[in-house]
């Protein structure tokens, strides 16, 4: 990495930040994390375990029927020694799909199909969290947020966000600092829905994106326009919904 990043210090700072946030917003509560088996949820879970103790972390696996790579999630949970539950969303997903198609008299759009599972998973996460005295951890990173690679009101939300100011490369360094296994840190990120990697879907590598975010340099240059377009188009995801600024007249 050509720009400075002190993984040891940042890791320690995030752990202390999580502790402080829970003192103010959930003394005695558990961190509830959707565990996908990818780097972001794994690093978030490891940070929470280091900050709060593994007994105050609940990992939630949420397959949609059969999840081919769920063993990664199980190995991460075993490695950290945290509590875990499994909520299979298939019946809810199928029922909502069926009822929505009946209501609109047609098929769901491709984007609806892609986004519906993350939104159902977030509903499941909050159902678990509110039933076990928990707080939901958001697992997004800066690189994904920068180009809108998340589902609004799905994986883009939560109660606290340890990684949203870190790029993918920085998240990986924190993961290594925390001692996560290589098979988790080095796993190619994918959405688990389209059969493609994140980088295939985006049209550029995270290395290209991360360098652009941190240095303003984009190589290859032909990716700059694509990244800028995605960034502009998805800025609304990073803000709460706008409200009409009504003020009562004197």
User: For 73-125, what is each residue's pLDDT tens digit?
Assistant: 999 999 999 999 999 999 999 999 999 999 999 999 999 999 999 999 999 99
- Give one DSSP letter per residue of 181-249, joined into a string: -HHHHTSPPB-SSSSSBHHHHHTS-HHHHHHHHHHS--SSGGGHHHHHHHHHHTGGGGSPPP-------
pLDDT digits (tens, 9 = 90+) for 9-47: 999 999 999 999 999 999 999 999 999 989 999 999 999
Q: Rounded to the nearest 5 degrees, what angle is found at the Cα of 133, between the Cα atoms of 130 and 136? A: 65
57 Cβ neighbours under 8 A, 6+ residues apart: 30, 31, 33, 45, 48, 49, 80, 82, 83
Half-sphere exposure at residue 149, Cβ-oriented, CA atoms within 13 angstroms: 26
SS3 250: coil
List of domains in the chain: 7-188 (3.40.50.620)
Most confident range, picked from 49-53, 146-150, 196-200: 49-53
Whole-angstrom CA distances from 6 to 142, 161, 198 are 17, 19, 26
pLDDT digits (tens, 9 = 90+) for 142-164: 999 999 999 999 999 999 999 99
Answer whether 208's CB lies under 8 Å from 219's CB: yes
pLDDT value at 193 more than 70: no
């Amino acid at each position: 990495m050509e720009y400075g990043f002190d993984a040891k210090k940042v890791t320690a700072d995030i752990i202390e930040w999580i502790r402080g946030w829970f003192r103010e917003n959930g003394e005695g509560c558990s961190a509830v994390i959707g565990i996908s088996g990818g780097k972001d949820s794994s690093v978030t879970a490891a940070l929470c375990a280091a900050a709060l103790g593994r007994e105050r972390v609940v990992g939630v696996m949420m397959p949609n029927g059969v999840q081919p790579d769920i063993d990664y999630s199980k190995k991460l949970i075993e490695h950290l020694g945290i509590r875990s539950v499994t909520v299979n969303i298939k019946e809810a997903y199928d029922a909502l799909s069926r009822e929505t198609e009946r209501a609109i008299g047609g098929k769901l759009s491709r984007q609806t199909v892609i986004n519906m599972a993350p939104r159902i998973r977030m509903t499941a996460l909050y159902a678990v969290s509110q039933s076990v005295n928990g707080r939901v951890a958001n697992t997004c990173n800066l690189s994904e947020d920068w180009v809108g690679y998340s589902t609004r009101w799905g994986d883009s939300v939560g109660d606290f966000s340890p990684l949203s100011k870190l790029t993918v490369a920085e998240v990986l360094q924190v993961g290594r600092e925390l001692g996560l296994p290589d098979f988790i840190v080095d796993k190619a990120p994918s959405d688990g829905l389209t059969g493609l990697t994140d980088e295939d879907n985006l049209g550029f590598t995270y290395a290209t994106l991360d360098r652009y975010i941190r240095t303003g340099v984009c190589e290859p240059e032909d990716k700059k326009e694509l990244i800028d377009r995605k960034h502009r188009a998805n800025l609304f995801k990073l803000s709460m919904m706008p409200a009409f600024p009504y003020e009562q007249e004197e």
